[in-house]
Amino acid sequence: ETGVTQSPTHLIKTRGQQVTLRCSSQSGHNTVSWYQQALGQGPQFIFQYYREEENGRGNFPPRFSGLQFPNYSSELNVNALELDDSALYLCAISQGIEHGYTFGSGTRLTVV
């Protein structure tokens, strides 16, 4: 039990559609970040939220967007889905770099 819950666990969408992935945690944390992990690859940083504001972003286009809420939950939204968006999407929480990041089990997104 990681303490970080992601939903749904699996999802199939059609190219061009929009998707919202969710992440929640019972523990207090000030930072949440999202990662995309393609099959056989390491996770790639999408963006990070600190106290409900985006404070870092990786090399992903604006159609990847997010939100962090006061109740420690977070969303990742992807518009205009492309086939290459098929991946495992991971959410991670942290109370600071020195504490490391705790990951959820991920959402497996398949775009057809």
- Number of chain positions touching other proteins (CB under 8 A): 30
Among 30, 73, 95, 103, contact with other proteins (rule: CB under 8 A): 103
Per rule CB under 8 A, is residue 97 in the interface with other proteins? Answer: yes
Q: Which is nearer to other proteins, 73 or 94 (CB)?
A: 94
Per rule CB under 8 A, is residue 28 in the interface with other proteins? Answer: no
Determine contact, residues 43/27, Cβ cutoff 8 Å: no
Distances (CA, A) of 68 to 31, 38, 40, 42, 75: 9, 24, 29, 24, 7
Say if strands 31-37 and 10-13 run parallel, antiparallel, or are unpaired.
unpaired
Per rule CB under 8 A, is residue 50 in the interface with other proteins? Answer: yes
